[in-house]
Homo-oligomer: A and B are copies of this chain.
Amino acid sequence: MKVKEKYAVGVDLGGTNIKIGLVTQNGKIIKQVSVPTEATKGPKAVIENIKKGIYLLINNEKIVFEGIGIGCPGTVNPEKGTVQNPPNLPGWNKVNVGKAISMEFEKLVYLENDANAAAIGEMIFGNGKNYRSFIMVTLGTGVGGGIVINRRIYRGNYGAAGEIGHITINYKGPKCNCGSFGCIEAYVGNRYLIKRVQQKLKNNNSILTNLVKNDFNLITPKIIKEAADKGDDFAISVINDTGEKLGAAFASLTNVLDIATYIVGGGVAGFGKPLFDSFRKSLVARVMAPNKSRIKVLSARLKNEAGIKGASALVFHGF
């Protein structure tokens, strides 16, 4: 007997676009739409756009779906369905997105911070499937993540937990956006990383200079990877250094949490194998004895679909 396929709607609420997908319980996207967020028009307009997008997705489908998952930036209260002060969405003080969408479609709505949604996505559909506990690391503009302990997101008593980008590796290091110094984000977050590479390029020979035709504004993790693949010493050292620093930051985390599995995604993770190798090496060298043999560094599997799939995974995972 074939088990009937189940479906969920996953909403990836971004500052520019709202991406919405119909996703199977196995993590396959059946259909996908995108509508503009129109963030400047304020929360009411954005909520109307979410509704519009979901109608666009399901109107001609005869598929019954289990619920709606929404991943969005900012401080989320999953129980209440509220979002507080999401960056990129101006005018949102505290908005009950969950209730508005739930009433419209008469379905359970699962709201979650986008970094946590990505972690749950990896847990349900991706490389976290077989791990009881793991750390999801998203190497994007900043360094974000989610801590999964015994198959649940660890949120802390006030929902402020999991700020793994703000682990300090040098208390006298560069100033971080958060106000502190030497956070791992201030070293390997995309904007900080690129800025440092641009500065260092002035005093280093590298084919990077040719690859971007002397326009350092064109430097991206992808182009650094390209140069490294061609054997460029400078680019290789940038990648190795990134991995070494990640290992220094997250060794502290493993020593404290006794979690040795890392799943790494985001743009900077595009550095690929050399990054994963140096990160792993640095972790193994630095963690305390009992965790050395347990260290695993895996790449995230959901990639560009992490937003929609992570959001839909919320429905299958439950609260």
Contacts and interface: CB of A to CB of B under 8 A. Distances in A.
A162 B259 CA distance: 11
A133 to B, nearest CB: 6
Contact of A255 (B166, B251, B258): B166
Contacts of A159: 258
A167 B286 contact: no
A215 interface: no
B168 A252 contact: yes
A117 interface: no
Interface string A242-266: 0011001101110111110000000
Contacts of A164: 255-256
A87 to B, nearest CB: 13
A181 B285 CA distance: 10
A170 interface: yes
A187 to B, nearest CB: 10
Contacts of A180: 251, 285-288
A285 B245 CA distance: 23
A181 B159 CA distance: 31
Given A171-B248, A245-B171, A251-B180, A256 B258 contact: no
Contacts of A60: none
Interface string A276-306: 0000000001111111001000000000000
A178 B288 CA distance: 6
B147 A256 contact: yes
Contacts of A168: 168-169, 248-249, 251-252, 286
A93 to B, nearest CB: 15
Contacts of A294: 158
Range for the number of chain A residues in contact with chain B: 35 or more
A1 interface: no
Interface in A52-85: 75
A191 interface: no
Nearest to A180: B286
Contacts of A162: 256, 258
Contacts of A318: none
A160 B251 CA distance: 13
B251 A158 contact: no
Contacts of A147: 256
Contact of A157 (B132, B252, B287): B132
A301 to B, nearest CB: 22
Contacts of A170: 169-172
B256 A167 contact: yes
Contacts of A172: 170
Given A180-B285, A285-B180, A257 B290 contact: no
Interface string A155-198: 11111111110111111100000111100000000000000000
A57 B161 CA distance: 45
A248 B173 CA distance: 11
Among A158, A170, A256, max chain B CB count under 10 A is at: A256
